[in-house]
A and B are shown apart, each in its own frame.
Chain A
Amino acid sequence: MEKEMVIGIPRGMSFYNNYPFWFGFFSSLGIKIVLSDPTTKQTMSDGSALVVTETCLPIKIYLGHILNLIAKGVKNIFVPSLQSIAPKIYNCSKIRGLPDLVRNVIKADINIIEPTLDKSQKHQGLYAFLEEAVKPFGITNIEEIKKASKQGWKVYNNFLVMARSGMSYKKAMNYALQGKVFIENASTSAPINVALVSHAYNIYDDRACMKIFDKLEKMDVKVFTSLQLTDEQMEEGIAALGQKRYWANEYEMTGTAGHYLKDNKIDGIITLNAFGCGPDSLMIERITRKAKDSGKPMLSLTIDEHTGEAGFITRLEAFIDMLYRKKRSKIINKISMPEYDYVPQTNICDSLTFAEKK
Chain B
Amino acid sequence: MSLDVYLGIDVGSVTTKLALVDEKGKYVDSYMLKTAGKPVDAVQDGLRHILSQALCDYSVKGVGTTGSGRNLAGALVGADVVKNEITAHAVAASTNIPGVQTILEIGGQDSKIIILRDGIVTDFAMNTVCAAGTGSFLDHQAQRLNVPIEKFGETALKSENPARIAGRCGVFAESDLIHKQQLGYPVEDLLYGLCQALVRNYLSNLALGKELLPTISFQGGVATNSGMVKAFEEALNTKIVVPENHQTMGAIGAALLAMENHQYTEAETKFKGWEVGNMNFQSVTCQCTGCSNNCEVITILEGAQHIGHVEKIGDIKGNIIARWGGTCGRWDIN
Which residues of chain A from 251 to 307 have any CB-CB distance to chain B below 8 Å in the complex?
A: 288, 292, 297, 302, 306
Residues of A within 8 A of B243 (CB): 344
A345 B126 Cβ-Cβ under 8 A: no
Is A349 located at the chain interface by the 8 A CB criterion?
yes
Which residues of chain B from 194 to 248 have any CB-CB distance to chain A below 8 Å in the complex?
A: 209, 243-245
Contact string against A for B residues 244-271, beta-carbon threshold 8 Å, 1 for contact and 0 otherwise? 1100000000001000100110000000
B83 A41 Cβ-Cβ under 8 A: no
Q: Among A42, A332, A335, which residue has its beta carbon within 8 angstroms of that of B292? A: A42
Interface of A is mostly: helix
B126 A349 Cβ-Cβ under 8 A: no
- A346 CA to B244 CA in the complex, in Å? 11
A338 B86 Cβ-Cβ under 8 A: no
- A42 CA to B295 CA in the complex, in Å? 11
| From B55, B68, B118, B293, residue with most partner A Cβ within 10 Å | B55
Is B157 located at the chain interface by the 8 A CB criterion?
no
Contacts A314-B84, A345-B244, A346-B27; A322 near B22 (Cβ below 8 A): no
- A39 CA to B317 CA in the complex, in Å? 32
Which range holds the interface residue count of chain B?
Answer: 35 or more
Residues of A within 8 A of B182 (CB): none
Residues of A within 8 A of B292 (CB): 40-42
Which residues of chain A from 21 to 54 have any CB-CB distance to chain B below 8 Å in the complex?
A: 40-42
Contacts A40-B293, A329-B120, A344-B27; A318 near B95 (Cβ below 8 A): no
Taking the nearest CB of chain A, how far is it from the CB of B204, in angstroms?
A: 16
Which residues of chain B from 27 to 68 have any CB-CB distance to chain A below 8 Å in the complex?
A: 27-29, 53-56, 68
Is B124 located at the chain interface by the 8 A CB criterion?
yes
A297 B95 Cβ-Cβ under 8 A: no
B260 A335 Cβ-Cβ under 8 A: yes
B53 A322 Cβ-Cβ under 8 A: no
B28 A314 Cβ-Cβ under 8 A: no
A338 B26 Cβ-Cβ under 8 A: yes
A344 B119 Cβ-Cβ under 8 A: no
Residues of B within 8 A of A311 (CB): 126, 128
Q: Among A207, A310, A332, A344, which residue has its beta carbon within 8 angstroms of that of B120? A: A332
A333 B119 Cβ-Cβ under 8 A: yes
Residues of B within 8 A of A329 (CB): 118-120
Contact string against A for B residues 288-318, beta-carbon threshold 8 Å, 1 for contact and 0 otherwise? 0001111000000000000000000000000
Residues of A within 8 A of B98 (CB): 342
Taking the nearest CB of chain B, how far is it from the CB of A338, in angstroms?
A: 5
- A314 CA to B289 CA in the complex, in Å? 28
Q: Which residue of chain B is the closest to A335 with respect to CB atoms?
A: B260
- A317 CA to B122 CA in the complex, in Å? 14
Is A315 located at the chain interface by the 8 A CB criterion?
yes
Q: How many residues of A are counted as interface, with CB atoms below 8 angstroms from the partner's CB atoms? A: 43
Contacts A344-B27, A355-B56; A336 near B84 (Cβ below 8 A): no
A345 B245 Cβ-Cβ under 8 A: yes
Is B94 located at the chain interface by the 8 A CB criterion?
yes
Is B3 located at the chain interface by the 8 A CB criterion?
yes
Is A347 located at the chain interface by the 8 A CB criterion?
yes
Q: Among A302, A314, A319, A349, which residue has its beta carbon within 8 angstroms of that of B3? A: A349
Is B24 located at the chain interface by the 8 A CB criterion?
yes
Residues of A within 8 A of B24 (CB): 338, 340
Is A358 located at the chain interface by the 8 A CB criterion?
yes
Residues of B within 8 A of A42 (CB): 292-293
- A326 CA to B74 CA in the complex, in Å? 26
Is A325 located at the chain interface by the 8 A CB criterion?
yes
B95 A317 Cβ-Cβ under 8 A: no
A297 B3 Cβ-Cβ under 8 A: no
Q: Among B56, B86, B327, which residue has its beta carbon within 8 angstroms of that of A352? A: B56
Is A321 located at the chain interface by the 8 A CB criterion?
yes
A41 B95 Cβ-Cβ under 8 A: no
Contact string against B for A residues 121-135, beta-carbon threshold 8 Å, 1 for contact and 0 otherwise? 000000000000000
Is A1 located at the chain interface by the 8 A CB criterion?
no
Q: Among B53, B86, B119, B209, which residue has its beta carbon within 8 angstroms of that of A318? A: B86
Q: Among A306, A322, A347, A357, which residue has its beta carbon within 8 angstroms of that of B121? A: A322
A325 B120 Cβ-Cβ under 8 A: yes
A335 B27 Cβ-Cβ under 8 A: no
Q: Which residue of chain A is the closest to B28 with respect to CB atoms?
A: A348
Taking the nearest CB of chain A, how far is it from the CB of B313, in angstroms?
A: 17
| From A310, A321, A350, A352, residue with most partner B Cβ within 10 Å | A321
Is A186 located at the chain interface by the 8 A CB criterion?
no
Extra pairs beyond A314-B68, A348-B22 (11, CB < 8 Å): A292-B209, A297-B122, A314-B86, A322-B122, A325-B87, A336-B25, A337-B119, A344-B96, A349-B3, A352-B3, A355-B56
30 A-B residue contacts at CB 8 Å? A40-B293, A41-B292, A41-B293, A207-B327, A292-B209, A314-B68, A319-B124, A321-B84, A322-B87, A322-B120, A322-B121, A322-B124, A325-B121, A326-B122, A332-B119, A333-B118, A336-B25, A336-B91, A336-B94, A336-B119, A336-B260, A337-B119, A342-B26, A342-B95, A344-B244, A344-B245, A346-B26, A349-B56, A350-B55, A358-B53
Query: Which chain A residues have a beta carbon within 8 Å of chain B's beta carbons?
Result: 40-42, 207, 211, 288, 292, 297, 302, 306, 310-311, 313-315, 317-319, 321-322, 325-326, 329, 332-333, 335-338, 340, 342, 344-350, 352, 354-355, 357-358
Query: Which chain B residues have a beta carbon within 8 Å of chain A's beta carbons?
Result: 1, 3, 22, 24-29, 53-56, 68, 83-87, 91, 94-96, 98, 118-124, 126, 128-129, 209, 243-245, 256, 260, 263-264, 291-294, 327
